[in-house]
Structure 1
Protein backbone atom coordinates (compact mmCIF):
# COMPACT_ATOMS: atom_id res chain seq x y z
CA UNK A 1 0.00 0.00 0.00
CA UNK A 2 1.26 3.42 -0.95
CA UNK A 3 1.25 6.12 1.73
CA UNK A 4 0.65 9.79 1.14
CA UNK A 5 1.34 12.75 3.35
CA UNK A 6 -1.19 15.53 3.12
CA UNK A 7 -0.14 19.00 4.18
CA UNK A 8 -2.35 22.01 4.74
CA UNK A 9 -1.34 24.85 2.46
CA UNK A 10 -2.78 28.23 3.45
CA UNK A 11 -4.32 30.30 0.70
CA UNK A 12 -5.45 33.89 0.48
CA UNK A 13 -8.47 34.96 -1.56
CA UNK A 14 -8.70 38.64 -2.41
CA UNK A 15 -10.73 40.80 -4.74
CA UNK A 16 -8.88 41.43 -8.00
CA UNK A 17 -8.52 45.21 -7.99
CA UNK A 18 -7.50 45.25 -11.68
CA UNK A 19 -10.96 44.08 -12.81
CA UNK A 20 -14.04 46.25 -12.40
CA UNK A 21 -16.97 44.67 -10.53
CA UNK A 22 -20.40 44.80 -12.14
CA UNK A 23 -23.87 45.51 -10.79
CA UNK A 24 -27.21 44.34 -12.17
CA UNK A 25 -30.86 43.95 -11.17
CA UNK A 26 -33.62 41.74 -12.54
CA UNK A 27 -37.31 42.28 -11.80
CA UNK A 28 -38.76 39.19 -10.12
CA UNK A 29 -42.21 40.65 -9.45
CA UNK A 30 -45.23 38.81 -10.70
CA UNK A 31 -47.91 36.40 -9.51
CA UNK A 32 -47.80 33.66 -12.15
CA UNK A 33 -44.34 34.33 -13.54
CA UNK A 34 -41.49 36.76 -12.98
CA UNK A 35 -41.33 39.96 -15.05
CA UNK A 36 -37.71 39.24 -16.02
CA UNK A 37 -36.77 42.72 -17.23
CA UNK A 38 -33.15 43.59 -16.49
CA UNK A 39 -31.14 46.72 -15.82
CA UNK A 40 -28.18 45.43 -17.84
CA UNK A 41 -24.72 45.36 -16.24
CA UNK A 42 -23.05 48.53 -14.98
CA UNK A 43 -19.71 49.25 -13.31
CA UNK A 44 -21.37 51.40 -10.62
CA UNK A 45 -24.56 50.69 -8.64
CA UNK A 46 -26.22 54.08 -9.30
CA UNK A 47 -27.61 53.36 -12.82
CA UNK A 48 -29.04 50.08 -11.51
CA UNK A 49 -30.81 51.88 -8.66
CA UNK A 50 -32.19 54.48 -11.09
CA UNK A 51 -33.46 51.70 -13.35
CA UNK A 52 -35.16 49.92 -10.41
CA UNK A 53 -36.93 53.13 -9.31
CA UNK A 54 -38.08 53.89 -12.86
CA UNK A 55 -39.20 50.31 -13.51
CA UNK A 56 -41.10 50.30 -10.22
CA UNK A 57 -42.73 53.65 -11.04
CA UNK A 58 -43.73 52.51 -14.55
CA UNK A 59 -44.94 48.99 -13.69
CA UNK A 60 -45.74 48.92 -9.98
CA UNK A 61 -43.23 46.08 -9.57
CA UNK A 62 -41.34 46.23 -6.29
CA UNK A 63 -39.24 43.06 -6.04
CA UNK A 64 -35.81 42.74 -7.66
CA UNK A 65 -32.91 40.31 -7.57
CA UNK A 66 -29.69 42.33 -7.36
CA UNK A 67 -26.27 41.02 -8.25
CA UNK A 68 -22.78 42.26 -7.50
CA UNK A 69 -20.11 40.35 -9.42
CA UNK A 70 -16.41 40.69 -8.85
CA UNK A 71 -13.26 38.78 -9.67
CA UNK A 72 -11.03 37.06 -7.16
CA UNK A 73 -7.34 36.16 -7.02
CA UNK A 74 -6.28 33.06 -5.12
CA UNK A 75 -2.67 32.85 -4.00
CA UNK A 76 -0.62 30.67 -1.69
CA UNK A 77 0.52 32.26 1.54
CA UNK A 78 4.06 31.98 2.70
Structure 2
Protein backbone atom coordinates (compact mmCIF):
# COMPACT_ATOMS: atom_id res chain seq x y z
CA UNK A 1 0.00 0.00 0.00
CA UNK A 2 1.12 3.54 -0.74
CA UNK A 3 1.31 6.38 1.70
CA UNK A 4 -0.83 9.49 1.60
CA UNK A 5 0.86 12.86 1.69
CA UNK A 6 -1.02 15.96 2.69
CA UNK A 7 0.09 19.49 2.05
CA UNK A 8 -1.20 22.48 3.89
CA UNK A 9 -1.12 25.84 2.24
CA UNK A 10 -1.46 29.13 4.01
CA UNK A 11 -2.56 32.22 2.23
CA UNK A 12 0.18 34.79 1.73
CA UNK A 13 -0.99 38.32 1.07
CA UNK A 14 0.98 40.08 -1.64
CA UNK A 15 0.19 43.29 -3.46
CA UNK A 16 1.75 44.15 -6.78
CA UNK A 17 2.29 47.57 -8.28
CA UNK A 18 3.74 48.49 -11.67
CA UNK A 19 7.43 49.39 -11.43
CA UNK A 20 7.56 53.13 -12.25
CA UNK A 21 11.09 52.79 -13.67
CA UNK A 22 10.23 50.04 -16.18
CA UNK A 23 8.52 50.71 -19.49
CA UNK A 24 5.58 48.48 -20.41
CA UNK A 25 6.03 46.29 -23.49
CA UNK A 26 3.37 45.93 -26.17
CA UNK A 27 3.67 43.35 -28.96
CA UNK A 28 1.46 41.97 -31.71
CA UNK A 29 1.69 39.03 -34.08
CA UNK A 30 -0.43 38.73 -37.20
CA UNK A 31 -2.46 35.53 -37.01
CA UNK A 32 -4.32 36.03 -40.29
CA UNK A 33 -4.22 33.04 -42.57
CA UNK A 34 -6.23 29.99 -43.50
CA UNK A 35 -3.61 27.25 -43.72
CA UNK A 36 -0.86 29.08 -41.85
CA UNK A 37 -0.63 32.27 -39.79
CA UNK A 38 1.14 35.21 -41.40
CA UNK A 39 3.42 35.46 -38.37
CA UNK A 40 4.58 39.05 -38.92
CA UNK A 41 5.54 40.52 -35.55
CA UNK A 42 5.72 44.08 -34.30
CA UNK A 43 8.64 43.50 -31.97
CA UNK A 44 8.72 45.18 -28.58
CA UNK A 45 7.05 48.60 -28.53
CA UNK A 46 6.53 50.85 -25.52
CA UNK A 47 3.21 52.61 -26.13
CA UNK A 48 -0.21 51.42 -27.27
CA UNK A 49 -0.09 54.09 -29.98
CA UNK A 50 3.10 52.61 -31.49
CA UNK A 51 1.44 49.19 -31.54
CA UNK A 52 -1.72 50.56 -33.17
CA UNK A 53 0.40 52.25 -35.85
CA UNK A 54 2.24 49.00 -36.56
CA UNK A 55 -1.03 47.04 -36.84
CA UNK A 56 -2.55 49.75 -39.06
CA UNK A 57 0.49 49.72 -41.35
CA UNK A 58 0.57 45.92 -41.63
CA UNK A 59 -3.17 45.87 -42.28
CA UNK A 60 -2.85 48.54 -44.98
CA UNK A 61 -0.03 46.62 -46.72
CA UNK A 62 -1.55 43.15 -46.49
CA UNK A 63 -5.25 43.46 -45.70
CA UNK A 64 -4.70 41.17 -42.69
CA UNK A 65 -7.16 41.77 -39.86
CA UNK A 66 -6.42 39.28 -37.05
CA UNK A 67 -3.69 39.92 -34.47
CA UNK A 68 -2.66 38.45 -31.16
CA UNK A 69 -1.69 41.25 -28.79
CA UNK A 70 0.46 40.90 -25.68
CA UNK A 71 1.04 43.51 -22.99
CA UNK A 72 3.74 42.99 -20.37
CA UNK A 73 4.63 45.12 -17.38
CA UNK A 74 7.22 44.76 -14.65
CA UNK A 75 5.60 44.71 -11.24
CA UNK A 76 7.04 44.93 -7.76
CA UNK A 77 5.65 42.61 -5.10
CA UNK A 78 5.07 43.93 -1.60
CA UNK A 79 4.78 40.94 0.70
CA UNK A 80 2.20 40.96 3.43
CA UNK A 81 1.71 38.67 6.42
CA UNK A 82 1.02 34.93 6.48
CA UNK A 83 -2.55 34.10 7.35
Cα distance per residue 1:24-78 (max 9 Å; x no partner): 1110000001000011111111121111111111111000011111011112136
- What is the TM-score with the length of structure 2 in the denominator? 0.77
Match of 2:50 among 47, 51, 65: 47
Aligned pairs, number: 74
Q: Does 1:67 align with 2:70?
A: yes
**Structure holding more strand per residue:** 2
Consecutive unaligned residues of structure 2, counting only runs of 5 or more, are: 1-7
SS at match of 1:48: helix
CA-CA distance at 1:23 after TM superposition: 0.8
1: CA distance, partners of 2:10 / 2:71 = 35
Consecutive unaligned residues of structure 1, counting only runs of 5 or more, are: none
Q: Does 1:30 align with 2:30?
A: no
- What is the TM-score with the length of structure 1 in the denominator? 0.81
Give the alignment's Cα RMSD to 1 decimal.
1.9
